[in-house]
Structure 1
Amino acid sequence: MFLIIGRYIHNFFTELGGLSHLLWRIISNLRHLHHDRKLFTEQAVRLGYDSIPLVLLVGIFTGAVSAWQANYQFEGYIPIKYLGSAVYKAVVIELSPVLTGLVIAGRVSASIAAELGSMKVTEQIDALESLAINPIRFLVLPRFAANTFMMPVLVIFAAFIAILGGFIVANLFMGLSSTTFFSEIPRHFYLYDLFVCLSKAFTFGAITSLVGCYIGFNTEGGAEGVGKATIKAFVWSSILILMADYILATLLF
């Protein structure tokens, strides 16, 4: 049992070292990003804009569930007029960044790993290197930058939709008017909440794209290896998002 645990720990830190090395290579190529605006825009549309319907679906149900749970907790203890601010706090600080990050991990990180993994096993990446084309600059950097940039946008969008979903539930099933639901939100709004939300979104966006690129670049074993890489990218992204969420909560609160 100890050997198995030790092997998992060794593999974890080995992969973490590989991710750190890839991140350093990305940072060293950032100066080229303004030359590759077309690649960045293409990836921003594919990874960010095309994810909006999924984020919309997740956001509205997140807000709806938050409203039900808050109403249950408030019953008999806290005035119902604070329901809107409770949904706002829960959604902006925690639920919107984390759930959007996990959804993007399933959609984007796995997609990047599959795409780059297919290029790796078919030796397309080796062909680029043989032509003196930097694969980090042309394959990794646009995806990393686009996803890191688009994630805060998606999270803010998800937060607004979630608050709207909470209001719909509160209005239809609890009889709260828009005035009652939204009246307390400005009183409990702090810019620091937005800072925490965007910090988490930025971090989770970097994690999902970095993991997808790293696993895709290290894929081997043909079509079966690509399938395993897709699953691995989603699992690793999800684990690292939850770990990063805990670390950020410890540092920011």
Structure 2
Amino acid sequence: MAQVGACGLFLLQVLGAVPKSLRHFRETIRQIWFVGAMSLVIIMTCGLFVGAVLGLQLYDVLSRFGASAMSGTVVALALYRELGPVVTALLFAGRAGTSITAEIGLMRATDQLAAMEMMAVDPLAYVAAPRFIAGIVALPLLACVFNAMAILGAHAVCVSWLGLDGGTFWSNMTASVDVWTDVVNGVWKSVAFGAVCTLIATFNGYTTAPTSEGVAYATTRTVVFSSIATLALDFVMTAFLT
């Protein structure tokens, strides 16, 4: 509970530093590239295989009830509503969140943050806020890429391998998926997950003990707490959005 309260106070400090971080716009763009573009490989690869497995399993189950034509619909709804934002957030926490924590933790261990304060540079505005903004911007985009690759993988399995008609696959999907109810709600989840995962990563890095062991523990805490917070927040948002 003490950690949750400290993280909440840290969030208020970061939000207060966001206007000042606009002076460091190039740093924000660099962080978006680092946490977003550099995560594309793992997001695309995992999305392709998740969609392939999802299509294979759902085709097998739905064919028992004579509803194999609805495979594309169920895959799309599962991805847009739940799997896309959640799995992307978990991958984001494992790849980008740990990097953010380790980078800021090393800055703390080598007194770089203290040096910024000595030079009248606000570390929250130059270090924490750009990374926080980058996570909020990058994660929804990564979730869209994940969904696209997953649907492509499901199409390859259901249509190219199992013989489902391609027109049926796409027509049922487009007829059943609603933009505002399904797609937009998934985007809102991605924005919330990006804020939570990036906040936890920056908080653990900023408050870590200035030792190598402290940085290691902070990195581990980032993955654990980000995963728990993502799944818990997913339940809460699902209950409210549906």
Q: Root-mean-square deviation (CA), in Å?
A: 1.2
Q: Does 1:217 align with 2:206?
A: yes
2:192 to 203, 207, 218: 203
How far residue 14 of structure 1 moved from its aligned partner, in angstroms, is: 1.1
Amino acid at match of 2:40: I
> For residues 47-69 of structure 1, what are the alpha-carbon distances to aligned partners after superposition, in whole Å with 9 as ceiling and x for unaligned?
10110111001111111111112
Amino acid at match of 1:246: F
Moved over 3 A (4+): none
1:65 to 23, 46, 53: 53
- Could you say which residue in structure 2 is the equivalent of 1:75? 63
- Could you say which residue in structure 2 is the equivalent of 1:147? 135
Structure 1 gap segments, 5+ residues each: 1-12
Aligned residue pair count: 241
How far residue 75 of structure 1 moved from its aligned partner, in angstroms, is: 2.2
Q: Secondary structure at the match of 2:36?
A: helix
Q: Secondary structure at the match of 1:23?
A: helix
How far residue 27 of structure 1 moved from its aligned partner, in angstroms, is: 1.4
TM (normalized to structure 1)?
Answer: 0.92
> For residues 131-168 of structure 1, what are the alpha-carbon distances to aligned partners after superposition, in whole Å with 9 as ceiling and x for unaligned?
22110000001101011101100101110110010000
TM (normalized to structure 2)?
Answer: 0.96
How far residue 78 of structure 1 moved from its aligned partner, in angstroms, is: 4.0
Q: Does 1:109 align with 2:97?
A: yes
- Could you say which residue in structure 2 is the equivalent of 1:232? 221
> For residues 44-95 of structure 1, what are the alpha-carbon distances to aligned partners after superposition, in whole Å with 9 as ceiling and x for unaligned?
1011011011100111111111111211221221422111111100111111
In 2, distance between residues paired with 1:42 and 1:78? Answer: 51
In 1, distance between residues paired with 2:66 and 2:152? Answer: 21
How far residue 130 of structure 1 moved from its aligned partner, in angstroms, is: 2.0
- Could you say which residue in structure 2 is the equivalent of 1:193? 182
Q: Secondary structure at the match of 2:163?
A: coil
Structure 2 gap segments, 5+ residues each: none
Q: 1:58·1:100 contact (CA, 8 Å) conserved in 2?
A: no
2:34 to 46, 61, 77: 46
Q: 1:62·1:95 contact (CA, 8 Å) conserved in 2?
A: no
% identity of equivalent residues: 29
Q: 1:56·1:158 contact (CA, 8 Å) conserved in 2?
A: yes
Q: Does 1:32 align with 2:9?
A: no
